[in-house]
Amino acid sequence: MQKTAFCGGAARGGYRRITKTLLVMKLTTVLLLAAMVNVSAKSFSQNISFSGKDVPLKEVFNAVKKQSGYVFCTRKMC
């Protein structure tokens, strides 16, 4: 006669299976979050073109303001 005892999941590698599943879930979550952040960053980025040599900073800020709508405030300019 064979005697068997109920030992739960630990006797058959159940805990290892659970930790492996949790590891896969964590990895999937991190990859999805990274993909969402990348998409979000691309949707908010803008391209501003400006060329000049020895141009005052005020002129550069004015060009950025015209192209993007962002206003820069410094001690002397605001």
Each residue's pLDDT tens digit, 19-76 = 888 999 999 999 999 988 877 666 666 788 889 999 998 899 999 999 988 888 888 7
Position 63, amino acid: A
> Do 22 and 41 sit in the same domain of this protein?
yes
Residue 36: give the domain boundaries: 1-45
Contacts of 48 (CB under 8 A, 6+ apart): 63, 64, 67, 68
Residues 25 and 57 in one domain: no
- Whether residues 41 and 54 fall in one domain: no
- Whether 29 and 37 have beta carbons less than 8 Å apart is answered as no
Residue 40 and residue 11 share a domain: yes
Say yes or no: 24 and 41 in one domain: yes
Please indicate, yes or no, whether residues 28 and 60 belong to a single structural domain of this protein: no
Spatial separation of the C-alpha atoms in residues 37 and 42, rounded to whole Å: 9
Domain count, the chain: 2
Residues 23, 10 share a domain: yes
Three-class secondary structure of residue 56 per DSSP: coil
- Predicted confidence at residue 30, as pLDDT, reads 95
Radius of gyration, CA atoms only, the chain: 29
